[in-house]
Amino acid sequence: MRQFLFPWLNLRGFLLFISILLLVMYFLKKRDPPNFPPGPLALPLLGNIFSIEAKQPHIYLTKMADVYGKVFCIRLGRHKTVFVSGWKMVKEALVTQADNFVDRPDSSMVNRIYGGNSAGLFFSNGKVWRRQRRFAMAMLRTFGLARSSMERGICEECRHLQEAMEKENGEPFDPVSLLNNAVANIICQIVFGKRFDYSDQNFQRMLKSLTEMAYLEGSIWALLYDAFPALMKRLPGPHNGIFCHCKSLEASIRREIERHKLNLDPSNPQDYIDTFLIEEKQNTRGDHGFEEGNLALCCLDLFLAGSETTSKTLQWGLIYLIKNPHIQRKVQAEIDRVIGQTRPPTMADRPNLPYTDAVIHEIQRMGNIVPLNGLRAAAKDTTLGGYFIPKGTSVMANLTSVLFDKTEWETPDTFNPAHFLNAEGKFVRKEAFLPFSAGKRACLGEGLARMELFLFFISLFQKFCFSTLHGAELSTEGIIGATRTPFPFKVYANTR
């Protein structure tokens, strides 16, 4: 009996020794350098993955700043991420130290999505990122902001949106799909050179994939994938939807690229794809990301950023003005006084609509469309808030903590357009208004998004009075993914 018992005891002791040794090695490897940001206790190997509130992570992380300070560390599996909170510290990281926090850290999920290509617009680094960003901004100006035709194009899309809402005949309906259609068509005009009919099935499949992908990329499933990539890529689960939806979108975009290649006129490019293809032919070495595989990924990034955020903002706009009917009436009175109920709005009307402009900004602040921003990586050893941040550390600016910073906003948790008005009722822009982020990675389509929000918002409330089902209470909590989405709701759109 003993000859079987002792080997088992020895084996058990050996396994225990190995386990302890591995844990010691883990802690030695993961040991923080002196003066590293503090944070909650983390489990070995797992980190704080089970502490983060899956439904409202931005709220959890904002509360952590009250406990650990404006700069603190959270561990997700094998990764350490330093979170920066509050306007002053976020400004320090994104603006004052813009050059140091401009790159993206390595991500297993991103590497799988982009398949080893140049990583599109938002996840590329270095020379590729700088060149692609400059190129995209130039294209947005050329085919968007610099053309009066874009303003007319948005107003024409406003008309299509109004007509679609009128077809509801005063019955309650879900406005989300109509807003998605209208907003996505603006980026379609710039990227594809055309708009799609709202009934186009391929267009609807693209929008559905965009919505699902935007949710999953910012969900706990994406965090789990990056924390445990070797395990997660072998497991079933919602995280696999990220890659399925990406492939579907990429296939649709590649069909458009092939159509453009057949009709390409190098002397007269009509849109982003045309100009990229021309640049690709001139840049034969394929450096700076000008190759066809990266074109599809850049288009994907433009769609994700250019349609999801603006549509979500308009959705929140409906919710907040339905919940505050006195504000809706005041907006409509100002529109009637300055524009009337028949003339389409123009951007030239904006200075004459200070209250409406303030309401739009407050919708963006309270809507908090991108609550956590994108990850950055420290390019060199530095300090934030007196703490040491080693080179390569992942850093995330908590935009929620800025938009609701108690030291910057008089009533941060209340919908209050007066945040953007002075004593004379004139519009005032606030430094801590960061829905588009800040620094060198700030949203490259901010100018276009502002134009869209203004024209769509004015056209909607110029034409309709919005309300919801009798007795229904519209939620302002939201569903968190890469963007913050309202819970499903229905509206009445009654012609004024």
pLDDT band at 5 (very low <50, low <70, confident <90, very high): very low
User: Residue 3: its pLDDT value, please?
Assistant: 47
pLDDT > 90? residue 209:
yes
Give the whole-number percent of the chain exceeding pLDDT 70.
92
Averaged pLDDT, 151-179: 95
Note the pLDDT of residue 289. 86
Specify the pLDDT at position 4: 43
Work out the pLDDT band at 464, boundaries 50, 70, 90: very high
Phi, psi angle pair for 153, to nearest 5°: -65, -40
- Statement: residue 2 has pLDDT above 50: no
For residue 18, pLDDT over 80 is answered with no
**Contact residues for 11 (Cβ-Cβ < 8 A; gap 6+):** none
pLDDT in tens, 410-435: 999 999 999 999 999 999 999 999 99
What CATH number labels 84-495? Answer: 1.10.630.10
Nearest to 87 by CA among 433, 440, 439: 433
pLDDT confidence of 132, banded at 50, 70, 90?
very high
Task: Give the DSSP H/E element, type plus range, for residue 128.
Answer: helix 126-140
Residues 436, 446 contacting (CB under 8 angstroms): yes
**Confidence class of residue 31 from pLDDT cuts 50, 70 and 90?**
confident
Mean pLDDT of 284-294: 80
Measured CA to CA, the distance from residue 211 to residue 207 in angstroms comes to: 6
With a cut of 70, say whether residue 16 has pLDDT above it: no
The half-sphere exposure of 157 on its side-chain side, counting CA atoms within 13 A, is 29
- Phi, psi of 182, deg, nearest 5: -65, -50
What does pLDDT average to over the chain? 90
Distance CA 208, CA 411 (A): 36
Q: For 168, which DSSP code?
A: T
Please compute the mean of the pLDDT values over residues 97-121 and round it to a whole number.
Answer: 85
pLDDT at 68 over 90: yes
Res 8 pLDDT > 50: no
Asked if the model's pLDDT at residue 349 lies above 70, the reply is yes
In tens, the pLDDT along 291-319 reads: 888 999 999 999 888 888 999 999 999 99
